[in-house]
Chain A
Amino acid sequence: MFALHGVGNFHIRPKLTTFAVNLPRTTYTSINLVMLSINGLRASIEGKEILKGINLGIKPGEVHAIMGPNGSGKSTLASVLAGREEYEVTGGSVTFNGIDLLELAAEERAAEGIFLAFQYPVEIPGVTTINFLKTAVNEIRKYNGEEPLDAARFLKMVREKAKLVSMNDSLLKRALNEGFSGGEKKRNEIFQMAVLEPKLAILDETDSGLDIDALRIVAEGVNSLRSPDRSAIVVTHYQRLLDYIVPDFVHVLYKGRIVKSGGKELAFELEEKGYDWIKAEVEAAEVNQ
């Protein structure tokens, strides 16, 4: 069971039956506080299998980087965890703080503390960022049985968070992401994350399309939210982002599986040598089987 934890343990062909799934919540709390436990996760879109058995365990406070060549399934993993409905989960399980995540709708996952920072944040004309966030905050509070925040407290909190990610107040009153530059959109993602204070943040290629200054600001925002009880999955193609958000673990995703895991030094190795050696290793292993 403890081998679920990512490091040094990956399965090219996991036998689903060897994993106990749907353990009661209390069992997990007693076992070393695993926050997220992905077991043999398989997912398809339009009949094409993209995730072919993902195993990953994340403890509170940990930052895990998911790297890999284009088309390896990185964004699919992020999407499936956040509850995107186009993907069909065909096998395996995902447990988040003892709850069967796959049973929850996207908004319920958000209310449980999962946040996806989008690779391509959506423009929503006619809905201001501030109004959008107020609705989100209060919907999540309602889900958790809390009273809605009053306008004054909400505004105060939002202003503090905006400062944290150097977000201009004027953007808050504008329609959500409409006409925002690429950098502003990504910053808005991190700002929303700061407001919603998720337990698990999933950053899907947050570095794509950012110049180095924007990247630094976004990373600072993420780092300022790091705490012993919050975790993050950082999906990225390049090592660059990991200079700023230093991960505890790095996993390489290839052909829908995690084929290699290591510490932050694995990212440097990938930056230096590219992905070809990993592809070669996987192909060799497939031939040998």
Chain B
Amino acid sequence: MTFETIDLKTKLITDFHARESVMNGEAKSAFHQKKRAALAQFDTLGFPTIQNEEWKYSNVRDLISASYNFNTSDTLSAEDLVDLKMPEQAANILYFVNGHYNAALSTMVSSTDQIIIDSLQNAYKNNPELVNSYFDELVKDDTDAFTSLNTAFAHDGVFIHIPDNKTVEHPVILRFVSDARQENIGSQPRNIIAVGKNAHVKIAEAFRTIGEQRSFTNVVTEINVGEEAGVEYYKVQNESENAYHIGTTQVRMLEKSHFYAATVTLNGKFTRNNLNIVIDGEHCEAYMYGLYFPDGSQHVDNHTVADHRKPNSESNELYKGILRDRSKGVFNGKIFVRPDAQKTNAFQSCKNIVLSTDATMYTKPQLEIFADDVKCSHGTTTGQIDEEALFYMRSRGISKPEAMSLLMFAFCADVVSQIKIDSIREYLENVIAEKLSRS
């Protein structure tokens, strides 16, 4: 049997056992036991097929048909990053190359009494109990094969802990760069973010690729939002034409907390984002914004969950997409209002512009409401550019392509303007403007 015929699942399971066999006492740790359980779950579940309702429109066959090197070491220097034109910003910037933390490229500006921030690997070495108390706690019931796979292989990523009553002035920017210049690269970063009571922080995850080979990122981020805390979380994907990305962000909110998320997908061959928010306290406010702009034969799938478990909280969701060429978009937005969650306000909206007859958008709002005193709404629209607006602009002398570009930029601005880290917002505005000018 040649290497190529071994399927990805078998290979990963074999890899896991090979690693385990060279572990010492560590294999008995609670941390590792969680990983073993996750591997067993992955083994049972297997990679999803389109028969799985959650993956109906997103076929991972192509993704799992190749092999990937998950075990590369650091391969990038600062010079290699110049072409990526990463925005400058006074921020805590952490680089992860092929999923591994790279201290040399990273910069910290916030003081350690405001924020404990380290690579997951280091944090676990230095403080195993603290890390273990958060690791896998939010996603352990997840039945997604990719999440289980990530847990089984979680070795690096970031660990962030904000003590109670601290406001982290400078944002935290996590930059995940896949170096696919030589071979197909796989990475499975695991991020754990624990925000204390009445603590506040802005965190961004940015995903980029260098090189033309395939990159496969399977990332999981767990975010605990403490009572009265405020977290802004941005995920920006601007990867290569051969980049496959599966990501789950699992959030738990406690009393009177605020959580803002914006997920922006500008480039990548195949993207699946799961954003799951459990609202486990009263008087919480959750905001979910999303923007996707696929072209060529790119595929972007956003699955979101707002799970209201306690009364008197609010969730607001706005996802917007522009689809060109033969691209495909998927939006699935679930809102659960549990029996106890009276006086819930939950709003959801998904708006799409489909610019080509070969492009397709699948939208599915899914509301399951078990309380009777709630306000919930959802709406999706999928259409072309507003012809009346286009004529109005042209009648003022603005050429058709320029008018289209202005209208689409404005369409995106609803989401982009929500991003409160200046350098990221400006970066996105530039990338979007550049992408629009290519139309």
Cβ–Cβ contact A126 & B410, under 8 A:
yes
Smallest CB gap from B399: residue in A: A107
A-facing mask of B115-149, CB < 8 A → 1, else 0?
00000000000000000000000000000000000
- In A113-137, the 8 Å CB interface with B consists of 115-116, 118, 121-122, 124-127, 131-133, 135-137
A57–B253 Cα distance when bound, in Å, is 71
Q: For the complex formed, measure the closest distance between the CB of A252 and the CB atoms of chain B, giving whole angstroms.
A: 26
Measured CA separation A118–B392 after assembly (Å):
8
Q: How far is the CA of A82 from the CA of B392 in the complex (A)?
A: 10
B412 to chain A, nearest CB (A): 8
Q: Complex: how many Å from CA A103 to CA B409?
A: 30
Would you call A58 an interface residue if the criterion is a C-beta within 8 Å of the partner chain's C-beta atoms? no
- The yes or no answer to B25 lying at the interface (CB within 8 A) is no
8 A Cβ contacts from B394-421 to A: 394-400, 402-403, 406-407, 409-411, 413-414
Question: B393–A132 contact, CB under 8 A?
Answer: yes
Asked whether, in the complex, the Cβ of B394 is within 8 Å of the Cβ of A107, the reply is: yes
**Nearest Cβ on chain B to A99's Cβ, whole angstroms:** 15
Please name all residues of chain A whose beta carbon is closer than 8 Å to the beta carbon of B391 when the two chains form the complex.
84-85, 106
Q: A127 CA to B395 CA in the complex, in Å?
A: 16
Whole-angstrom distance from the CB of B21 to the nearest CB of chain A?
A: 57
Give the shortest distance, in Å, between B385 (CB) and chain A (any CB): 11
Please name all residues of chain A whose beta carbon is closer than 8 Å to the beta carbon of B414 when the two chains form the complex.
125-126
Q: Say whether A124 contacts B396, CB under 8 Å.
A: no
CA distance A85 to B395 in the complex (A): 11
Residues of B within 8 A of A261 (CB): none
- Assuming the contacts A106-B391, A122-B388, asked whether A136 and B396 have C-beta atoms less than 8 A apart, the reply is yes
Find out whether the CB atom of B395 lies under 8 angstroms from the CB atom of A124. no
Q: Does A97 belong to the interface (CB within 8 Å)?
A: no
Checking B395, B400, B403, B413 against A126 with a beta-carbon cut-off of 8 angstroms, the contacting residue is: B413
Which residue in A110, A122, A126 is a CB contact (below 8 Å) of B397?
Answer: A110
A124–B389 CB distance below 8 A: yes
**Which residues of chain A are near B413, meaning CB under 8 Å?**
126
Are A116's CB and B395's CB within 8 A?
A: yes
**Is A220 part of the binding interface, using a Cβ–Cβ cutoff of 8 Å?**
no
Chain B residues contacting A143 (CB-CB under 8 Å) are 397
Shortest distance between the CB of B181 and any CB in chain A (Å): 39
- Bound Cα distance from A192 to B392, whole angstroms: 12
Give the distance to chain B from A78, nearest Cβ to Cβ, in Å.
10
For residue A183, which residues in chain B have a CB less than 8 angstroms away from its CB? Answer: none
| Residue interface mask B360-402, A partner, CB < 8 A = 1 | 0000000000000000000000000010110111111111101
Bound: A121/B407 CA distance, A: 16
The answer for the CA separation of A30 and B389 in the assembled complex, in Å, is 39
**B386 proximity list for chain A (CB < 8 A):** 122
Most buried by A among B391, B397, B414: B397
List chain B residues, Cβ under 8 A from A126. Answer: 409-411, 413-414
- Does A83 lie at the interface of the complex (its beta carbon under 8 Å from any beta carbon of B)? yes
Residues of B within 8 A of A118 (CB): 392, 395
Q: Of the candidates B388, B395, B400, B403, which one forms a contact with A82 in the assembled complex, judged by CB atoms under 8 Å apart?
A: B395
Asked if A111 meets B397 with Cβ closer than 8 Å, knowing A85-B391, A122-B388, A126-B414, the reply is: yes
A140 close to B (CB within 8 Å): yes
Nearest CB in chain B: distance from A184 CB, A:
16
Please list the residues of chain A having a beta carbon within 8 angstroms of any beta carbon in chain B: 82-85, 105-107, 109-111, 115-116, 118, 121-122, 124-127, 131-133, 135-137, 139-140, 143, 175, 192, 196
